[in-house]
Amino acid sequence: MKVFPLALAFVAAITTALPSYAQNATALNAALANPSRPAADRDADARRKPAETLDFFGVGPGMTVVDLVASGGYYTEVLSNAVGPRGKVYMQNAPSALQGERGTRTAQAIDARLAGGRLANVERLNRDLNDLGLPDNSLDAAVIALEYHEVYRSSDPQAESRFLAEMKRVLKSGGVLGVIDHAGNAGNDNGSMHRAELEKVLAGARAAGFIVDGTSDILRNPADDRSKTVFDASIRGVTDQFIVKLRNP
C-alpha cells in the first residue's frame, strides 16, 4: 500500500490541532502560576489540584461554564483561565449568600477579584441554584466545589432533585456536572459535618438521569477518617475528598 507524504502531513496537522486534556492541564498549570492571581489562591493550588481536576472534567478553551456556589471565586478564576478569552464563566451565588455580615465579606471578596475587569470572561450570576435564569442547553460544564453537601442540609426535601433538574436543563447534551466534595461515611450525620456520601451522590445523579462518567481519587486523604467536621483544625483544608464527573445524556 502506497502512503502519500501529503496525506501523512495532513493527518499530522489535524492531530496536532486537537488539544489533549493533558496539554490543557499543563497549559492551565502554567497560567495559574501567574503572580496576578491572589497569593492565597496560588498557595491553595498544591492541595486543591485545580488543573488536574478540570482536566478530569474535560473543561478546556472556548467552553461556557458556571462556577456554582462560587463564594469569593477561587474556582471562578481557575475556570476563567481554563476556558480562555473565547470562553465564558458564570459566577453563581445565591442572593441570600450575599446578605448579612458574612455575605458582605463574600461580596467584597468578589469585588476585589473582579476589580478593573481583570477576569473579562466572567459574569456574575446572583441566582438560586435551582433557578439560574440561563437558556436551556447553554452550558458545556458546571462545577460545584465543596458545596454539594449543602443540598442535603436544606430544609427542602426536594432540594437535590430540583438542583439536578436545573442542571439537566442548562447543560448541553454531553455537558458535564463536575462535583468535588468532602467525603462522608454511610450512617454518619454527614450534614452536620458538611460532608457528602459518594454513593448517595451517585444514586441521586442516576435517578435524575445523569450518566456517571467516572470518579477520581486525586484529592483523597486516608488520614481523614471522616469522623470530624470539615472545620476541625486537624483536617481543615486537607479533608478526604471525592471527585465525580456526571454527564448529561
Tell if the pTM clears 0.75, that is, is over it.
yes
pLDDT tens per residue across all 249 residues of the chain: 444 444 334 333 333 333 444 567 888 988 899 898 999 999 999 999 999 999 999 999 999 999 999 999 999 999 999 999 999 999 999 999 999 999 999 999 999 999 999 999 999 999 999 999 999 999 999 999 999 999 988 888 899 999 999 999 999 999 999 999 999 999 999 999 999 999 999 999 999 999 999 999 999 999 999 999 999 999 999 999 999 999 999
Reported for 24-33, long-range contacts at CB under 8 A and 24+ positions apart, including other chains, are: 24/54, 24/55, 24/59, 24/60, 24/61, 24/82, 25/51, 25/52, 25/54, 25/55, 26/51, 28/54, 28/55, 28/78, 28/81, 28/82, 31/81, 32/78, 32/81
CA distances from 205 to 139, 210, 211 (A): 18, 5, 7
How many residues comprise the chain? Answer: 249
Give the tens place of pLDDT for each residue, 8-47.
343 333 333 334 445 678 889 888 998 989 999 999 999 9
Distance CA(45)–CA(112), nearest Å, equals 20
CATH of span 20-247: 3.40.50.150
CA distances from 204 to 67, 160, 161, 165, 212 (A): 20, 8, 8, 11, 11
Distance CA(34)–CA(44), nearest Å, equals 14
C-alpha cell at position 102: 458574612
> How many of the other CB atoms lie within 10 Å of CB of 51?
22
C-alpha cell at position 99: 446578605
C-alpha cell at position 76: 471562578
Residue ranges per domain, the chain?
A: 20-247
